[in-house]
Amino acid sequence: MENTLGIIGTITGVVGLLVSVISVLVTVHVVKWQAKGLGIQAQEKTRTERLMFLTDRIFDPDIPREFKKPFYEECISMKGNGTAVRFWLLEGEREKKTQQPA
């Protein structure tokens, strides 16, 4: 009887240990996955904020066009907002038209 209880206790202990190890491994895997997801979200947020800054500068009427060019080029390099790019191009066409003699 004591042998049986000892064997059952040993088996229960081993099974409990295995369950604990598996639980820890799963938890570590989930935490790594979440950390990776948060890192991707942080990068996307940084990119979005930079693009918003660039488009704000492109649309700012108080900044002369020649000073907007670096903002435009960076926006294009980041595959930025099509609206800002179209605005830049239309603004350039308007300037050309106003400079041409009538």
Give the tens place of pLDDT for each residue, 35-84.
Answer: 888 889 999 999 989 988 988 888 888 988 889 888 888 888 888 767 77
91 inside domain = yes
Q: How far apart are CA 52 and CA 49, in angstroms?
A: 5
43 inside domain = no
For residue 75, how many other CB atoms are within 10 A of its CB? 22
- Running DSSP on this structure, what letter comes out for residue 72? H
Nearest to 60, CA basis, from 72, 50, 42: 72
Residue range of the domain that includes 68: 64-102
Higher pLDDT, 85 or 67: 67
Q: Model's pTM, two decimal places?
A: 0.60
Number of domains observed in the structure of the chain: 1
1 inside domain = no
The CB-based long-range contact list for 36-40 (8 Å cut-off, 24+ gap) reads none
12 inside domain = no
| Residue type at position 16 | G
85 inside domain = yes
101 inside domain = yes
pLDDT at 13 over 80: yes
